[in-house]
Amino acid sequence: MGLTMKSLELIKFLEANGYSFIRAKGGSHHIYSSGTNSIPIPIHGNKDFGEDFIRMVLRETGISKNCLMKYLDR
């Protein structure tokens, strides 16, 4: 995959795939949920998420890599 994403980009992708903001956990993590599954997303300013973190999010949410690639090609 070899890609990186900003936290806002990842959040917009999750929201486009049925996830919505539930609550903030502490000061640096936001919880997003699809109704049956929830995932914490760290918010650390303007830093990029690496490929390993993005893969973990895709695995935890059950969203395919192809879906992410189509979203990024917009």
CATH code, domain with 64? 3.30.920.30
Query: What pLDDT is recorded for position 46?
Result: 84
Q: What residues make up the domain containing 18?
A: 5-72
The model's pTM is 0.87
For residues 33 and 51, give the distance between their C-alpha atoms in angstroms, rounded to a whole number: 21
Q: What is the pLDDT of residues 15-65, one digit of tens each?
A: 999 999 998 877 788 899 999 999 999 988 888 999 999 999 999 999 999
* Number of separate domains in the chain: 1
Which band of pLDDT confidence, cut at 50, 70 and 90, is reported for residue 3? confident
